[in-house]
Amino acid sequence: MRIGELSRRTGVPVPTIKYYVREGLLPPGELSSPNQASYDDGHERRLRLIRALLEVGGLSVAAIGDVLASIDDKEQPVHKLLGTAAQRLVPEYGDAGCQEDAEAVLARERVARLIEARGWRLHPGNKAAGALAAALASLGRVGYGSFAELLDEYAEAAERVARADLGYAARRTDREDLVEAVVVGTVVGDAMFAALRRMAQVDVSSRLFAQGGQE
Amino acid sequence: MRIGELSRRTGVPVPTIKYYVREGLLPPGELSSPNQASYDDGHERRLRLIRALLEVGGLSVAAIGDVLASIDDKEQPVHKLLGTAAQRLVPEYGDAGCQEDAEAVLARERVARLIEARGWRLHPGNKAAGALAAALASLGRVGYGSFAELLDEYAEAAERVARADLGYAARRTDREDLVEAVVVGTVVGDAMFAALRRMAQVDVSSRLFAQGGQE
């Protein structure tokens, strides 16, 4: 199909499609004449994936480029690749993560104990574990260190969700399909869980504080 | 204390503190002489809260202003206030949420059925429910509509986490303290859960795909 048709099918404006091609997110169309390129279903699918990561996942164009490169790298075994994708999908924190104080040390110890207690098999440099420690340290600095009491309950819920995620992904037999499912699920799953948590909070809060009223 | 001391205690540079005062996030210090202002523990605590929302929560300065205004509004009953804070803390999605197509209609129906099935008491215009529908519609458009099969499992985990969140908040008797705990917990809790989910995914993935290997 021509670029105009690709734009109609996906709802992505033509200049935006051209921008994604220039940034290397979308492979160029096949030249059918010197100034006309032809696009196929693969382009359409990739374009929808880019939009999902951008609009629902809130990833930057650069981060999406990294994630797509890891999907397209056929050399890596599936598990390594999932690890790489998960590492790249960890949100980056600003200065909070770098501050080296007593709270940072305490938070890292706390995370190490949690990993040990749950028997999670993680590489020592796991980026998500670093992000968790940074979040806990930041809580400590703001005077809400006791929020870390909820860590076990959160970890139990996270394990439950992760098992569902991987179970969903494992039903896909095609390699690219599997990795794409994990990437989409990881990014969109964050948004889904955050929304559900707020909905459940409103319900629980109305039962606790509003004596039978509705929000 | 003087502004230099406040800066040393919190690690926030003096020009940044002045910027927060200009933006209305931080109340001005009390003038002790025509060109010298004095700050107290309340300023220090508020400054740490701003940093946590900014660095761990990833909120914009404008969003932080909204959240702080709702904390400081003493008129509202606690439950209303928690609802307002939760609504303001829902991430905004781009065009994805506005697209009105078959996927959007299906997604809204799906969310309505979920709320019904769980017996959650939510206002019809609940923003988090809208964000969830937008995420589901986006998944449908990218060809991963089947990911919505995981919705029940996610909702179960979210309810568990929300009960823990509110249980933590409810132990605080001071009104400002309670609301601050919910705000910090809501924002930082997202980051905490996202990190834990990735850690658990790596563990589950290594068990499923790597036959005994470590990430």
How many Cα atoms sit within 13 Å of B162 on the Cβ side?
25
pLDDT tens digit sequence for A143-180: 788 888 899 999 999 999 999 988 888 887 777 777 77
CA–chain centroid gap for B126, Å, is: 15
Angle at A42 between CA A36 and CA A46, to 5 degrees: 100
ipTM: 0.78
pLDDT value at position B161?
A: 94
Percent of chain A exceeding pLDDT 70 equals: 87
Q: Hey, where are the domains in chain A?
A: 90-171
| Tokens found for residue A212 | 């039978």
- Please give the pLDDT value at position A212: 44
- Cα gap A119→B203, rounded to integer Å: 9
Q: What percent of chain A has pLDDT over 90?
A: 33
**Is A49 close to B142, i.e. CB distance below 8 A?**
yes
- Per the DSSP assignment, residues forming a β-bridge with B37 are B31
* Min Cα separation B110/chain A (Å): 13
**Beta-carbon contacts below 8 Å between A and B:** 353
| pLDDT given at position B157 | 96
Q: How confident is the model at residue A210 (pLDDT cuts 50, 70, 90)?
A: low
Structure confidence at residue B92 (pLDDT):
54
Give the pLDDT of residue A25.
93
Residue A59 in contact with residue A96, Cβ under 8 Å? no
- CA pair distance B86, B81, nearest whole angstrom: 9
Q: Which residue has the higher pLDDT, A151 or A210?
A: A151
Question: Which residue, A129, A142, A19, A211, is CA-closest to B180?
Answer: A142
User: Which of B100, B123, B150, B205 should one mutate to test binding to chain A, selecting the residue with the greatest count of A CBs within 10 A?
Assistant: B205
Nearest CA in chain A to B195: A128
pLDDT at A97: 45
pLDDT in tens, A44-79: 988 988 887 887 677 788 888 887 887 787 777 777
Which residues touch A173 (CB under 8 Å, ≥6 apart)? none
The burial class, CB within 10 Å (0-12 / 13-18 / 19+), for A49 is: buried
Any bridge partners for residue A31, and if so which?
A37
Distance CA A45, CA A43 (A): 5
Is the predicted pLDDT of residue A116 greater than 90, yes or no?
Answer: yes
Q: Is A37 on the interface with B (CB under 8 A)?
A: no
- CB contacts, 8 Å: A135 with chain B: 56, 188, 191-192, 195
Contact B142 A191 (CB under 8 A): no
**Please, which residues have CB within 8 angstroms of residue A137's CB and are 6 or more apart in sequence?**
A96, A97, A99, A101, A103, A104, A106, A107
Segment B111-159, tens digit of pLDDT: 999 999 999 998 888 888 998 998 888 888 777 888 888 999 999 999 9
Contacts of B188 in chain A (CB under 8 A): 135, 138-139, 144, 147
Q: How far is B198 from chain A (nearest CA, A)?
A: 6
Asked if A139 is an interface residue toward chain B (Cβ–Cβ < 8 A), one would say yes
- Residues 6+ positions from A113 with CB-CB distance below 8 Å: none
Q: Chain A: nearest CA to B36, how far in angstroms?
A: 26
pLDDT at B14: 95
Per-residue pLDDT for A128 more than 80? yes
**A44, A40, A41, A19: which is closest to A30 by C-alpha?**
A40
Selection from A37, A64, A70, A36 nearest residue A48 by Cα: A64
For residue A87, pLDDT beyond 70: no
Q: How far is CA A105 from the centre of its chain?
A: 27
Distance CA A125, CA A162 (A): 20
Closest chain B C-alpha to A14 CA, distance in angstroms? 16
User: Which stretches in chain B have pLDDT values below 50?
Assistant: 93-97, 212-215
